[in-house]
Amino acid sequence: MTLCIPIERDLGLQSPVCAHFGSAPMFLLADLEAGTCRTIPNANQHHGHGMCMPLAALRGESIDAIAVGGIGAGALSKLLAAGIQVYFADQPTAEATMAAFQAGSLRTVTLDSACSHHHGGRH
């Protein structure tokens, strides 16, 4: 099971979760069975509003689930269509987000709860 977490900067498990999927500078990919993680840059970080291409951003990585601070409806729709489940990450760090995911306590993001516009700060 690979969990993807958009992060602000690479501090390993202490990496701060980014407030918005599409503008995250990088992603932490956590293989929860192996207990390993690695980061990849967001190749689609700079895009027009509503033009996020999440699968291009993840460069063909095999992802089972994504935990986000916030995500737009367009990007969410594309991820759901690809069979990737998306959850809200209300925790401040990747480590806390991973623990909450493994405990089953993350809320699922729906089209009704996706961001319709950008906010200042966390969503």
Q: Pinpoint the alpha helices (H) of the chain.
A: 54-57, 73-81, 94-103
Confidence of residue 59 (pLDDT cuts 50, 70, 90): confident
Q: Which two tokens stand for residue 38?
A: 């690695």
pLDDT-wise least confident of 4-13, 70-79, 94-103: 70-79
> What pLDDT was estimated at residue 118?
40
Q: Which two tokens stand for residue 119?
A: 């906010």
Asked whether residue 20 is assigned to any structural domain, the reply reads yes
Long-range contacts of 33-39 (CB under 8 A, 24+ apart): 33/1, 37/12, 37/13, 37/94, 39/7, 39/10, 39/15
Asked whether residue 109 is assigned to any structural domain, the reply reads no
Asked whether residue 28 is assigned to any structural domain, the reply reads yes
Say if CB 61 and CB 4 are below 8 A apart.
yes
Residues written for the chain = 123
Confidence of residue 48 (pLDDT cuts 50, 70, 90): low
> What pLDDT was estimated at residue 46?
52
Is residue 36 over pLDDT 70? yes
Residue 82 sits in which domain range?
Answer: 2-103
Q: How many domains does the chain have?
A: 1
Confidence of residue 113 (pLDDT cuts 50, 70, 90): confident
pLDDT-wise least confident of 5-14, 43-52, 109-118: 43-52
DSSP state of 90: -
> What pLDDT was estimated at residue 45?
60
Across the chain, what does the average pLDDT equal?
85
Asked whether residue 108 is assigned to any structural domain, the reply reads no
Asked whether residue 115 is assigned to any structural domain, the reply reads no
Q: Which CATH number belongs to the domain containing residue 35 in this structure?
A: 3.30.420.130
Asked whether residue 75 is assigned to any structural domain, the reply reads yes
Asked whether residue 37 is assigned to any structural domain, the reply reads yes
